[in-house]
Amino acid sequence: MIYSESHRQFVWFSWRPLSPDPGDDAILEAAIAGRCDFVVSFNERHMRAAREFGVEVLNPGDLLKLIGEIK
């Protein structure tokens, strides 16, 4: 279900550094460029910068609740 809603997102602008973990910057930049509503991560602390761009940070359990897969 989630995969069927995905698409390739090109990133034309670099916002680095955003995260304490440089590996997370690419995820954040793709979410910002794609105007995503959510970023899903077990490490919410590293994704805090997403909120500055209007992207909400969810852990995987919260996403599953949101889409109705678990209660």
Q: For the segment 45-63, what is each residue's pLDDT rounded down to a tens digit?
A: 999 999 999 999 999 999 9
Q: Which residues contact 67 (CB under 8 A, 6 or more apart)?
A: 1, 2
The full set of domain ranges for the chain reads 37-71
Q: For the segment 22-41, what is each residue's pLDDT rounded down to a tens digit?
A: 889 999 999 999 999 999 99
pLDDT (0 to 100) of residue 35: 93
Better pLDDT: 7 or 11: 11
pLDDT (0 to 100) of residue 1: 60
Residue 16's alpha-carbon distances to 21, 30, 33, 39, 71, in angstroms, are: 11, 12, 13, 17, 36
Torsion over CA: 3, 53, 61, 71 (sign): negative
pTM of the model: 0.80
